[in-house]
Structure 1
Amino acid sequence: MAADSDIARAAEAVASGQGGRNPAVHLLSLSMTKVADGLIQPKLVLTWLLTALGAPGYLIGALVPVREAGALLPQVALAGRIQASDRRRVYWSLGAFFQGVAAFAIAVAVLTLEGAAAGWAVLAALGCLAVARSACSVSYKDVLARTVETGLRGRLTGAAATISAALVFAYAALLGLGVIPREPGVLAVAIAGAGLLWLVASMLFLTLDEPRRPDGAPDEMSGLSLSEMVAPLREDREFRHYIAVRALFISTALAPTFLVMLTGQGDGDTLGNLGTMMVAASLAAILSGFVWGWLSDRSSRKVLILAGSISAVALAAAAGWALVQDGPIGSVAAAGVIFVAQLGYEGVRAGRKLHLTDMDTGDRKVAYTAVSNTMIGVLLMAGGLFGLAADLIGPALVLAMLAGLSALGAVAAVTLSEVQRDADG
């Protein structure tokens, strides 16, 4: 109901011309890019495609690390340049444009290549897409704050998220029902469609009416040396503990890849029902987002404990099932595990974001965020080794390892400090 209200109020603001054309530009651009994200999902769609094309496991296992790390690692380098610019919308537009180009490259690779060649080509294009995405990630909040008035921003981003989730859910349902054939060529066309959405959003975003910064206005990142950026690691024990917990919870982001790989083993129907798994993941995200946010407002530490435990149980169950029956798990069972694991992932994501937001960081919030993202980006690249392990010992044992890491993350979160909140929080 809250989502419906967000859409209704955002639509009313756009229709009434509140804030000029900027709200409409944001709503359309953000909705298109979020739909594009849903059509290309490395955890499910690209994993399914490379499995179908016979790519080796070490390349499939690298999809999520490359996608996530590529979007995080460049942020420190880009942040200062973007915040010093008066045309920040251009950086977002360029990021969207090159994501579109990279999506077209992925589609071409899927249509023309097989095996390791397809894996390397898709991985390279995905790396380019991720780096381009980092420019969008760093610049968007600034552009939103500069071009849309307070009180409307949350409604616009919430409406875009709801609209895109509904469209991706409909696409996944059509895949699950077989209305859209689950074939690499058809999915490549959908990925090309994602590329087109990014290109259109890129052009549209340039039409924003972006004000110029007053002369002499300070930049949030100005004057921060590298030594000052990494100072929290030396000085703040709680921050080091937080990064350790977040590092262990990388397992929740990596797990869906190996669940899809597990359904792709064996004879007969060599690949699980991609549509069913996408529906499960979408439902988990839609149903749990508000609940995890509400709980995180009360205790982000307890949310991390609970969400990590949920993920650990789900992954351990899938690994145990596959090992006991010595074969792949069915697509319906995999969808059930993905649903529960995605619940855990969404909880970890909500909890760790709010925990860092509410930590006592003085006036160094930007430094804390940038350092945290960069370190996790480095660790995610190392997470590609799990793909190599899947080739050597099988995805079931890798899932068991990831379940263990999730459990360790939940245990480590127990000793995080409880963030002080307002009396009504």
Structure 2
Amino acid sequence: MVSGLRNLVMRSLTNTEMPDLPLHTTAYDALFGDDEGRVCRDIPESACNAQPENVSAHLISLAATKAGDGLSDPKLILAWVLNALGAPAFLIGLLVPLREAGALVPQLFAAGAIRALPVRKWAWAISSLIQGLCVAAMGAVVLIFDGVMVGWIVVGLLAVFALSRSVASVAYKDVLGKTVSKAKRGTTTGTADSIAAMVVLAFGLALSFDILTRSVEVVSAALFIAGGCWMVAAAVFLTLKEEPGATEGGGNAFETAIGQLSLLREDRQLQRFIATRGLLIATGLAPPYLVTIVAQRGGTDLSQLGPFIVASGLASVVSSYFWGRLSDRSSRRVLIYAGLLGSLSMALALSVTFLAPTWVMAYAMAAVLFVLMIAYKGVRLGRSTHIVDMGSQETRAAYTALSNTIVGGLLMLAALFGALASLAGTWVVIAVFALMCAGAAIVASGLDEVQQA
């Protein structure tokens, strides 16, 4: 990014007659530079010519949806507001599994229907619009209802949100593979992640320093804004110049899903990728256990969550662009490094658990969370770029749906970690997560360098 900006400045100083560049072209050159930006791989020629406009559309759409994700985070935002309104604990406990597994498990069946669409940006845009309406409706619901009623309504809306998200996830990776060249996809998604993280970080800082009060009204406003983010993203995404793609393999959802299972038997690289990703779910499951450790040591005040929100947002800001650029060079190495960093963060968490005094526990564990969330961002960007680049236009949607469905099934078993924590202690779960991340790094070392293919 820095070299691209430097090139733009030098051209402006040395060529005063240079015509004004469109904003999307300026942004594109800033991200990739003149020479790198002109190279296209694995996309049609017409899509290559439209890359500056398409990259800008992806940046805006992704940044908006990721900002919406942060402002409606079920682990923090939704859980807090339902707790404040007196919703039952079992409903609050459904939020994260429902959001994650509900967005992944249906994808194997959604892929066939999406495959039947020559132009798939509409599937993503409509799904994004539905997600925005669901989140905005949550903003209204928390102002009107309380107790069991608000819990059930929010959970119901989250279920619809998750199903829409499953369609969007399959469609997005396919559209990304058709509209953005290989070696630019990780940078595009990483930059969008960084932009969104700045918004979420600002919100976390405002809550931490009491610039915004931790009230239901403020959370409701955040949910309305988050819903608007998805609606804006839907409109912008439709401006993509997407070429019609192959539709073979579309049709009956169940038959298509069963047929795609053969890919798992035949493709050893897909098996290894799914195993890597399955082990790396530890980076996403661990944060609530870090919060639990702090609470067990006396940090039960809700204000203790402030450092965690800031640590999570700051990790996204400082690491997303780096991970995205590295993913374009070697998503395999990103997954290895993220696994090792995740294992290191779990080891640090164990050290803090047994050695840190109570008065610094919250801040020490927030520092651990900062390292863990850097690893988590690497996992997300590395796996997303790897699955897009390892697949072709014929297999990309099926690969995405198959891997997401299997990992979604694993996430549905996440309650077993909670049972283990109750029986043996939270620190035992953290130790298991450390081993999972280390194992993921070992398995990922056998992945192909798909960016070099």
Using the size of structure 1 for normalisation, the TM-score is: 0.77
For the pair 1:183 / 2:195, whether they are aligned, the reply is no
1:272 aligned residue = 303
Shift of 1:22: 6.1
For the pair 1:403 / 2:431, whether they are aligned, the reply is yes
1:170/1:152 CA distance change after superposition, 3 Å? same
What are the residue-to-residue correspondences of 1:273-352 with 2, within 5 Å? Answer: 273-292=304-323, 294=326, 296-297=330-331, 299=333, 302-303=336-337, 305-317=339-351, 319-320=353-354, 331-352=362-383
1:96 aligned residue = 128
1:59/1:410 CA distance change after superposition, 3 Å? farther
Supply the AA of the counterpart residue of 2:425.
L
What are the residue-to-residue correspondences of 1:133-152 with 2, within 5 Å? Answer: 133-144=165-176
Shift of 1:374: 0.7
- Distance in 2, matches of 1:87 and 1:218, equals 9
What are the residue-to-residue correspondences of 1:51-200 with 2, within 5 Å? Answer: 51-53=83-85, 55=87, 57-114=89-146, 117-144=149-176, 157=189, 159-200=191-232
- Distance in 2, matches of 1:267 and 1:138, equals 43
1:193/1:374 CA distance change after superposition, 3 Å? same
Conservation of the 8 A alpha-carbon contact between 1:10 and 1:155: no
- Distance in 2, matches of 1:261 and 1:228, equals 43
1:122/1:264 CA distance change after superposition, 3 Å? farther
3-state DSSP of counterpart to 1:382? coil
CA deviation vs aligned residue, 1:265-314 (integer Å, no higher than 9, x gap): 68896213444322211222232335555385573564254134124214
- Structure 2: 5+ residue runs without aligned partners? 9-20, 29-48
Shift of 1:99: 0.9
- Matched residues, number: 413
Conservation of the 8 A alpha-carbon contact between 1:96 and 1:199: yes
**Could you say what the CA RMSD is over the residues aligned between the two structures, in angstroms?**
4.3
- Distance in 2, matches of 1:65 and 1:318, equals 27
CA deviation vs aligned residue, 1:335-384 (integer Å, no higher than 9, x gap): 22321221232333345456656779997554443222111111112214
For the pair 1:255 / 2:251, whether they are aligned, the reply is no
- Distance in 1, matches of 2:155 and 2:149, equals 10
CA deviation vs aligned residue, 1:48-69 (integer Å, no higher than 9, x gap): 3344445555444432222122
Conservation of the 8 A alpha-carbon contact between 2:332 and 2:444: no
Conservation of the 8 A alpha-carbon contact between 1:64 and 1:254: no
- Distance in 2, matches of 1:358 and 1:149, equals 10
Conservation of the 8 A alpha-carbon contact between 2:99 and 2:158: yes
Using the size of structure 2 for normalisation, the TM-score is: 0.73
3-state DSSP of counterpart to 2:303? coil
Percent of aligned pairs sharing the same letter: 38
Conservation of the 8 A alpha-carbon contact between 2:249 and 2:256: no
1:202/1:421 CA distance change after superposition, 3 Å? closer
For the pair 1:234 / 2:265, whether they are aligned, the reply is yes
- Distance in 2, matches of 1:241 and 1:159, equals 28
Supply the AA of the counterpart residue of 1:35.
A
